[in-house]
């Protein structure tokens, strides 16, 4: 742990952006503001005019371990996260075995601590083995440190089981995170149903499969008094339902991920498997609706939706290839593209990556304030770079943004005051 003073930085603090200094002592923010004195024995970090913000809080990522270490490990994911300015990650339970046992929850937490660079916040499986048949032991999982319950990339298809999950979780003050697809409508599909899927000869998933699932789960949350979080929202129809439910006071929240506001279905091009996702990329009108949902506050967080895949998982015919993309190292820069494009303010973008997801997770992170952990990200918002698959930090290289020029480069990441990147 190193005591340090950041100078020549723009501080992204809760009360707005300002040029100033930030002092770190004993792993925590001791002071921040203009013209701070330099205590004896403190290292000085010249930020070069960059933006100093809280370490990013990513509320959804698969890390490969346990069971899929050939795709990613916790150590390699931590390296990618640090390079992307991420210091806290919500970990999906769809590993092998699934995180449906308290011992596995504790293992993930401890493995994160061992990296020294990232806090891992595991989600417990909503159903045993994420199989969608029998509820897991929510009380024991919460006691071990699980932050919410989900079956990851599998939706809870049974309305009766979802009702029971919401009721059971609410008794512990916990949320159910749902993958928003009607399982029967989505079964066997590979792309959003429409003209492009027809031209490419790909089995389609109707976009309304998302809204049908969301409408059902909102009604079940209202029925049970439970709380539901809709993961990776991709359609305007689903967002309209969530917006209306929030207005009525129903406990529903949601997030989205960079592919859904930066890309549309055209990105699958000539069967480009790195752009195959679940849910699939949508039409341009839905991409615009997601951007509007970010701007008006309907969407609560931007998550990386990191889904590591081996090259062999993707080097298959499009319909057979695994869905998912690497997202840790590109999370900040792709979000900043919307700032440079005028769709979001810098304040909105950083709130969606820091304070809002931290509050949702209930973790002590995401805000620059006195006494807070010194989990920090220093970045140059104008620094240009190009995404290159094969050269990203970490093991997973299956990025849909391969070749994409971006502005916004992380210059350094600190965890509890210790520099872990840059």
121: exposed, middle or buried (Cβ count in 10 Å: 0-12, 13-18, 19+): buried
Residues of the chain with confidence (pLDDT) below 70: 1
User: Structure tokens of 76?
Assistant: 């390699």
- Per-residue model confidence (pLDDT) at position 37: 83
CB–CB of 305/381 below 8 Å? no
Measured at the CA of 69, the angle between CA 65 and CA 70, to 5 degrees, comes to 155
- Per-residue model confidence (pLDDT) at position 134: 97
Does any domain span residue 206?
yes
Paired with 58 in beta bridges are 89
DSSP 127-160: BGGG-SSSB--HHHHHHHT---EE-TTS----HH
Q: Assign 328 to helix, strand or coil.
A: coil
* CA 30 – CA 39 distance, rounded (Å): 11
Task: Tell me the C-alpha to C-alpha distance, in Å, between residue 321 and each of 61, 121, 189, 198.
Answer: 19, 29, 12, 18
* CA 71 – CA 311 distance, rounded (Å): 9
* CA 34 – CA 55 distance, rounded (Å): 21
- Per-residue model confidence (pLDDT) at position 40: 86
Does any domain span residue 201?
yes
* CA 246 – CA 250 distance, rounded (Å): 5
Under DSSP, the state recorded for 325 is: B
- Per-residue model confidence (pLDDT) at position 138: 98
- Per-residue model confidence (pLDDT) at position 39: 86
CATH number for the domain harbouring residue 200: 3.20.20.140
* CA 120 – CA 399 distance, rounded (Å): 22
Q: Assign 53 to helix, strand or coil.
A: strand
251-289 burial, b for 16+ CB within 10 Å, e for fewer? bbbbbbbbbbbbbbbebbeebebbbbbbbbbbbeebbeb
User: Structure tokens of 227?
Assistant: 């709380």
Q: What is the pLDDT of residues 136-193, one digit of tens each?
A: 999 999 999 999 999 999 999 999 999 999 999 999 999 999 999 999 999 999 999 9
* CA 224 – CA 252 distance, rounded (Å): 12
- Per-residue model confidence (pLDDT) at position 408: 97
Closest listed residue to residue 366, CA positions, set 121, 155, 101, 193 = 121
Tally of domains in the chain: 1
Measured at the CA of 127, the angle between CA 121 and CA 132, to 5 degrees, comes to 130
Domain range for residue 94?
55-361
**What is the number of helices (H) and of strands (E) in the chain?**
14, 19
44: exposed, middle or buried (Cβ count in 10 Å: 0-12, 13-18, 19+): exposed
Does any domain span residue 6?
no
Angle between helices 346-353 and 331-340 (to 10 degrees): 160
* CA 51 – CA 8 distance, rounded (Å): 9
Length of the chain: 422
Does any domain span residue 378?
no
Does residue 46 have an active-site annotation? no
Does any domain span residue 135?
yes
Of the residues 21, 305, 313, 375, only one is catalytic, namely 305
DSSP 375-420: -EEEEEEEEEEE--TTSSSSS----TTTT-EEEEEEEEEEETTEEE
Does any domain span residue 195?
yes
Does any domain span residue 10?
no
Q: Assign 303 to helix, strand or coil.
A: coil
Q: Assign 278 to helix, strand or coil.
A: coil
- Per-residue model confidence (pLDDT) at position 211: 98
């Amino acid at each position: 742990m190193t005591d340090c003073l950041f100078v020549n930085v723009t501080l992204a603090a809760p009360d707005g952006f300002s040029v100033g200094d930030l002092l770190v002592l004993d792993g925590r923010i001791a002071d921040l503001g203009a013209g701070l004195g330099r205590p004896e024995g403190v290292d000085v970090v010249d930020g070069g005019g960059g933006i100093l913000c809280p370490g990013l809080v990513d509320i959804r990522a698969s890390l490969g371990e346990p069971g899929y270490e050939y795709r990613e490990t916790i150590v390699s994911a931590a390296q990618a996260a640090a390079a992307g300015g991420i210091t806290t990650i919500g970990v999906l339970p769809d590993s092998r075995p699934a995180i449906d046992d308290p011992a596995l929850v504790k293992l993930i937490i401890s493995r994160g601590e061992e990296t020294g660079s990232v806090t891992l916040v595991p989600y417990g499986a909503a159903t045993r083995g994420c199989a969608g048949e029998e509820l897991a032991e929510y009380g024991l999982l919460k006691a071990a440190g699980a932050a919410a319950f989900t079956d990851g990339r599998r939706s809870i298809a049974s309305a009766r089981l979802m009702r029971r999950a919401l009721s059971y979780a609410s008794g512990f003050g916990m949320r159910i995170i749902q993958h928003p697809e009607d399982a029967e409508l989505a079964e066997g599909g590979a792309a959003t149903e429409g003209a492009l899927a027809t031209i490419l000869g790909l089995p389609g998933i109707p976009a309304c499969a998302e809204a049908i699932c969301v409408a059902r789960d909102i009604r079940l949350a209202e029925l049970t008094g439970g709380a539901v979080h809709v993961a990776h929202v991709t359609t305007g129809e689903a967002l309209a339902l969530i917006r209306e439910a929030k207005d009525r006071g129903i406990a529903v929240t949601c997030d989205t991920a960079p592919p859904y506001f930066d890309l549309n279905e055209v990105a699958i091009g000539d069967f480009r498997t790195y752009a195959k996702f679940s849910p699939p990329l949508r039409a341009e009108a839905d991409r615009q609706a997601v951007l509007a949902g970010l701007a008006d506050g309907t969407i609560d967080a931007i998550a990386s939706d990191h889904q590591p895949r081996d090259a062999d998982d993707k080097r298959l015919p499009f319909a057979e290839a695994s869905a998912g993309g690497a997202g840790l190292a590109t999370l900040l820069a792709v979000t900043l593209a919307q700032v440079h494009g005028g769709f979001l303010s810098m304040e909105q973008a950083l709130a969606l990556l820091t304070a809002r997801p931290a509050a949702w997770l209930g973790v002590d992170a995401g805000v620059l304030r006195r006494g807070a952990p010194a989990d920090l990200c220093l970045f140059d918002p104008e620094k240009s770079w190009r995404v290159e698959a094969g050269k990203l930090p970490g093991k997973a290289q299956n990025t849909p943004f391969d070749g994409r020029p971006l502005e916004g480069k992380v210059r350094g990441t600190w965890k509890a005051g210790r520099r872990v990147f840059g």
